[in-house]
Amino acid sequence: MSSRTSRTRVGKYELGRTLGEGTFAKVKFARNVETGENVAIKILDKEKVLKHKMIGQIKREISTMKLIRHPNVIRMYEVMASKTKIYIVLEFVTGGELFDKIASKGRLKEDEARKYFQQLINAVDYCHSRCVFHRDLKPENLLLDANGVLKVSDFGLSALPQQVREDGLLHTTCGTPNYVAPEVINNKGYDGAKADLWSCGVILFVLMAGYLPFEESNLMALYKKIFKADFTFPPWFSSSAKKLIKRILDPKPETRITIAEVIENEWFKKGYKPPSFEQADVSLDDVDAIFDESGDSQNLVVEKREERPMTPVTLNAFELISTSQGLNLGTLFEKPMGLVRRETRFTSKRPANEIISKIEETAMPLGFDVKKNNFKVNKYSFFLSKMQFAITLLLYTNFLSDLERKFIINQI
């Protein structure tokens, strides 16, 4: 075992494990060394972005996230660039996708569905007030933090005021077919706010029903249903919920309910708590600087590796839960690729010094040397899901065979 370890640092952030990896980007867990705050950093390769002519899309995503500061939207803290990479520093959430919650439960009770719908409408209404239209709202793009608060994410297809044409409408057809408004498919121009609200109506239906209102294997058949708003409610929907969804999923955008009217709706207002947050003036002047090819930009950072004495691994309760494969955050951004690192992790109720002694006692007869430093052991109690973790031990045993690994764990 080496007595030193190396860490990669970018600016004030120390990079950790990879959360997800795709063709154009990699998302890493990171820690702000000045504040100790955990973040997620999306790292893009400049060469690939330029090669695939994605500068416009990346600029739009960064500009959009800089404009939005809302408790129900994933926050972007800052953006940095080196000569070869772009670093987008994002809020780190551990609760997974709302889609996973629906998949595991089948459907949500009406009160719970209303709570998430209220938070979604709050976020979308705020985005529209900043002239930002999401255009790809769906449960997969709605995340939950550790407290179950909804966070809208993935603004890669969002539209800014510059994209609105002289007729006051957007004209780019985009989104996920099952959630897209009929006027978007029509390709004759659409109001971004009304199209987003349609998607919110589909999401509300999915939350309460556990399935989509419009679903066909054939795309043209699907579009026909969407054009006619051809769907039926399951019997457990309340009459007031049906009325609201019917008004949102109105195929005629000119008669469709508005967000302001949704907020005044009696079904929506039950238990409603308006969000409280500070309005912030945000400048977009530095967005162009991260694509500056002259190399003179003051915003350029350097990715460097730092050697330091090896210290014990520490996890807080939420980091511990995020190590579960079922809560892997890789799918929040892009589909994970490559090999999964093999690890063995376990917990124990025994005191730390007793566990270490057992490891020594078991490993030494197998021919391994045991080295340890004089670290102090602090004991913390975490209460989560009514379970108490007295102490958490992370053991890397990649160098052991399966038989040796099982033998050591059984002994402990």
Domain ranges of the chain: 4-92+280-312, 98-269, 344-411
Alpha carbon distance 284, 170 (integer Å): 22
Alpha carbon distance 263, 70 (integer Å): 17
Of 125, 136, 145, 196, which is the active-site residue?
136
* The pLDDT value given to residue 360: 77
* The pLDDT value given to residue 241: 97
pLDDT tens digits, 303-358: 767 655 555 556 666 566 655 555 555 555 444 444 444 555 666 777 877 887 88
CA 328 to chain centre: 11
Of the chain, the end-to-end C-alpha distance in Å amounts to 21
Please confirm, yes or no, whether 136 is among the known catalytic residues: yes
pTM of the model: 0.68
Q: Identify the three-state secondary structure at position 165.
A: coil
Q: What CATH number belongs to 98-269?
A: 1.10.510.10
* The pLDDT value given to residue 376: 52
Residues in the chain where the model's pLDDT stays below 50: 1-3, 333-341, 377-399
Here the tokens at position 253 are 């955008």
Placement of tokens 């966070």 in the chain:
151
Q: Phi first, then psi: what are they for 125, rounded to 5°?
A: -60, -40
Q: How would you write 82-135 as a 3-class SS string?
A: CCCEEEEEEECCCCCEHHHHHHHHCCCCHHHHHHHHHHHHHHHHHHHHCCCECC
Residues 6 or more apart from 399 whose CB is under 8 A from it? none
* The pLDDT value given to residue 4: 54
Q: Are 336 and 330 in contact (CB under 8 A)?
A: yes
Alpha carbon distance 60, 54 (integer Å): 10
Q: Are 20 and 96 in contact (CB under 8 A)?
A: no
Alpha carbon distance 226, 178 (integer Å): 8
Q: Identify the three-state secondary structure at position 305.
A: strand
The reply to whether 42 sits in an annotated binding site is yes
Alpha carbon distance 251, 230 (integer Å): 10
Query: What does each C-alpha distance from 214 to 100, 202, 370 come to in angstroms?
Result: 20, 8, 61
Name the region of 84 (left: φ>0; alpha: ψ -120 to 50; beta: rest): alpha
* The pLDDT value given to residue 204: 97
Q: Identify the three-state secondary structure at position 27.
A: strand
Q: What CATH number belongs to 4-92+280-312?
A: 3.30.200.20
Q: Phi first, then psi: what are they for 86, rounded to 5°?
A: -115, 135
Per 3-state DSSP, the chain is made up of helix, strand and coil in percentages (nearest 5) of: 35, 20, 45
Q: Are 248 and 233 in contact (CB under 8 A)?
A: no
